[in-house]
A and B are shown apart, each in its own frame.
Chain A
Amino acid sequence: MRFAQMLLMRLRALVRGEAADRELSDEMRAHVEHLVAEYIARGLTPDAAREAARREFGPVTQLTEESRDARGVVWLANGWQDVRYSARLMRRTPGFAVAAILTIALGIGATTAMFSVVYGVVLRPLPYREPDRLVNLWSTAIKRGLPRANVGMANVYDWRARNHVFEDIAALRRVANFNLTGQGEPERLSGSAVSSNLFPVLGVTPLIGRTFTEDEDEIGHEHVALLTYPLWVRRFGADPGIVGRSITLNGEPHTVVGVMRPDFAFPTREYQIYTPLTFDPEELVNRMNYSYLALARLRPGASPAQAQAEMTVLAAQIEHEHPKENDGIGVEVVPMQDDDVAAVRTSLYILLAAVAAMLLIGCANLTNLLVARALARQRELAVRAALGAARARLIMQSIGELVPMLIAGGALGLLGAAWVVSALVPLLPAGVPRVENVGLHLPVLAGTAATLAAIAVFVGVWPAFEASRGGLNAVADVARGHTGGRLRSRVRDVLVVAQIAATLWLVIGAALLVRSFGELRQVRPGFNPERVYSLHLVMPRSKYRTGRDVAAYGDRILERVRALPEVVSAALVNRLPLAGGTQTGGIELEGIDPKATGVGNVDYRSVTPDYFRTLEIPLLSGRSFAETDTETAQPVAIIDERLAKIVGTIADPIGRRVRIPIMNLPWLRIVGVVGHIRHDRLDEDTRPQIYFPYKQRTQDRMALAVRTRTDPDLIGGSLVSAIRSVDPEQAVYDARTLEAVVDRSVAERWLQTVLLGSFAGIALVLASIGVYGVIAYAVGQRRREFGIRLALGASRAEIVGLVMRRGVLLFVCGAAIGLAVAAASARVLASLLFNISGFDLMSLGVSTVILFVVALAACGLPAQRAASVDPSQALRAE
């Protein structure tokens, strides 16, 4: 009861603050009047009475302050007062206010946007039940050159039966092609075939309907489908009656059994539909098909390390039991939260550090701005301090004055960040995982608030500290015009040196990334992407049942496409280079010991005869495929020069034989050798390639590549029409020029370069303002000195030299620190670089020179002004 009363009193006092103040002063005045009346009654003159009364009463101002303090809400009330005062001040000096608000907005906006990306991609817990208990399971096959690979069903079954460390293991297969036909435009969806225990393992429930049951895992019962929320909204208009309806996938009717919740996006946002996972029971026997993903939930109390240990042992046992099929196959247990993001984590953290550096540079400017303004009010502050205002009070006042600017700048910054996030997130490169998680979530906003508070303290505390140091001497100093003091100037110099160091680090980082990206673009991919258009299509097996049907369909498409006037050549290939995705496997060269070659898996490609001509991959010896390489003719293959080198020279392999070392697949005669291409990424050369004729190894998921006479962008529409004229229900996806494909493959690096470059550019601007501020201030301080020197005969050039010397000194200190920091972080930065070392001298040198020029320019204006001081004016001002 007491507490509530006190709270009420505090609130009342707070709300009535001003009124309470007036009451108090009324009371005290009345009291003093009483005393005066008393003294007059005793016979003193009015003046003497007043003085006696004053003495008896005590120091009114101090007592008023004490009373206010006793009220217990003083700091809050004072804070509000400071805020109002600051708002008035802001209106009177709009330039300063605008500069401060913009600086804060820029810093807050950039930091918030960057942190929201880091949080969404790396830090935010996955939206499943107890997500830290979930792990991904990968196969490892180091011997075959695959540090990580998908898993095989046979292994999954064995793991499930024999482990003691997981509650359950679920599996799924990513299906790149669900042709959704029926109502509306035929559409190709990415989806996954999942085991029925997937959703219980993840711990998620559907929005409406149900997930799969165990008997739907069996062949014959699997014609059901589960939709994701975005698909349901987009394609079916969020129709609540969707459950039980039939949709046509790949030509076969599936019953929709449920819809998942809006935030469920497994494995990624790209996969929009789920069907039950079925597979050929043969796979459990031959243990060959490794196209599945597996995940598991840890038992309570089990750690990922324990799980890894047990699974390693288990894998060794299985290898022992199946020495041929499981040779060299191990298991890797990776916590799901860490898994996809390990690759991007480093670069994101580096970018976050860069943004933080930029923020600090901005704050340093803000501090200097505030100090400059505090100088104007120094007399008031010194007087207050001399009158006994507590240091804490002054500091609170200083921070309080910042509040309107922080609020305005913070709000502006948040708006900017929200815009950046919503506008640029869709443009993020495909490689960045969990992009749908990026947004201004609560933890991000909390981070922003914390940053604002930190700015308030960092920027507000120091000027107040300085001012409260003074005492009465300070008042006298100020009255005489001796503002500043050596100590203050020293701190400003330190701030500028720090700014220069941080800016140099950022500029070096940007320069390194730019050079690295330039190197990357120089890489020859092995084919010519100019004037080539590509699109992907999946030929539904329900329509084209046998390999021959598919191949014939492919031929008809190529025929129509070649009839188009702009087309020079056209071909089909199962995996387009640099488009993501590949098919790999082992090969055996006749007469060569596979272990001696050092070759692991190679890329398998099924291509039509014109492929090499279309992509301009050079034919180095032998011949390309021909229409005569049909499924009844002799099995043939073409290898790339990398594989050829194993045999000997480029001409040697022709006529020799090669095969896929699985079961009874036949030997293939090598008929040609082509140039090697970089398939997975431009910056890494992974595997050699082997090509099979399309008719001999037909696939239903293919890419169409078309070389055009003129601009490839224009041909997309006619291609689709040509294809639809063969089959109106054919869905087409991922259509773009091959140059766009190549660009997308380096999009991540490009984005890093652009971001770091922007931060460095902004930092340059901010730092130049900082340098300008400090030098201009110093010049202002030394006006008299310069006037005297000029009067004594110094040349203007000498004055300029004096000023510049100061600037150069600051620059050298800052640059030394900046270079040291850059050297220290070279190793970390190197992970982002291609072909360039973190110590690249050219980048270091160019960055230093750029910063030097900028700093020099920033000194230039004040130096000019110093040199044009009128000596008589300067001497007179006192």
Chain B
Amino acid sequence: MKPIDLVQGTLDLLILKSLALEPMHGWAIAARIRQLSNDVLLVQQGSLYPALQRLEYQGWIKAKWGVSEQNRRAKYYQLTRAGRRQLDREAAAWERLAAAVTLVVRTV
């Protein structure tokens, strides 16, 4: 299947969700998204980075340098408390949107 292009806001939601369990670095986030969506959402991996900057800038995630599994220096991102709240908000909004769209599509 061809990868689906994602609208900016949705990417934010995916990232926040991925980080909900544990802190990760960029590559791992991309892998997690792919994994969780059963390979449907093949994000253009580089576009993670502007999104990560934006999320960090808005205070929903914060970054820390650490050492990766390959013993390399990597930047780890984790959810902040505000980020957790934002995740809940966005998830709820998404569900509402998805339900509404489904309704429309199903009915017609």
Question: Which chain A residues have a beta carbon within 8 Å of chain B's beta carbons?
Answer: 2, 5-6, 9, 13, 23-24, 26-28, 30-31, 34-35, 56-60, 63-64, 66-72
Contacts and interface: CB of A to CB of B under 8 A. Distances in A.
A66 B57 CA distance: 13
A45 B58 CA distance: 41
B27 A63 contact: no
B53 interface: yes
Given A56-B45, A66-B49, 19 more contacts: A5-B59, A9-B57, A23-B75, A24-B53, A27-B49, A30-B26, A31-B27, A31-B45, A34-B27, A35-B27, A57-B45, A57-B46, A58-B45, A58-B46, A63-B46, A63-B47, A67-B50, A68-B53, A70-B53
Contacts of B49: 24, 27-28, 63-64, 66-67
A28 B46 contact: yes
A35 B45 contact: yes
Contacts of B26: 27-28, 30-31
A31 B30 CA distance: 10
A560 B30 CA distance: 110
Label chain B's interface by main secondary structure: helix
B82 interface: yes
B52 to A, nearest CB: 8
B50 to A, nearest CB: 4
Interface string B19-54: 000000111001000000000000011110111111
B72 interface: yes
A524 B82 CA distance: 89
A2 to B, nearest CB: 6
A56 B54 contact: no
Contacts of B47: 58, 63, 66
B74 interface: yes
Interface residues on B, range: 20 to 34
A70 B74 contact: no
Interface-central residue, B45, B54, B57, B74, by most chain A CB under 10 Å: B45
A78 B88 CA distance: 36
Contacts of A31: 26-27, 30, 45-46
B56 to A, nearest CB: 8
Contacts of A26: 73
A71 B46 CA distance: 16
27 contacts: A2-B82, A5-B59, A6-B58, A6-B59, A13-B57, A27-B26, A27-B49, A27-B74, A28-B49, A30-B72, A30-B73, A30-B74, A31-B45, A35-B45, A56-B45, A57-B46, A58-B44, A59-B46, A60-B46, A63-B46, A63-B49, A64-B49, A66-B47, A66-B49, A66-B50, A70-B54, A70-B57
Contacts of B57: 6, 9, 13, 70-72
Contacts of A69: 50
6 A-B pairs closest in CB distance? A58-B46, A66-B50, A70-B53, A70-B54, A57-B46, A63-B46
Nearest to B3: A56
Contacts of B30: 31
A64 B54 CA distance: 13
B53 A71 contact: yes
Nearest to B59: A5
Contacts of A6: 57-59
A54 to B, nearest CB: 9
Contacts of B53: 24, 67-68, 70-71
A13 B53 CA distance: 11
A10 to B, nearest CB: 8
A854 to B, nearest CB: 57
Nearest to A62: B46
A6 B80 CA distance: 14
Contacts of A2: 59, 82
Given A9-B57, A30-B27, A34-B27, A70 B50 contact: yes
A58 B46 CA distance: 5
Contacts of B59: 2, 5-6, 9
B46 to A, nearest CB: 3
Nearest to B28: A34
Contacts of A13: 57
Nearest to B53: A70
Contacts of A59: 46
A835 B36 CA distance: 94
Given A2-B82, A72-B57, A57 B44 contact: yes
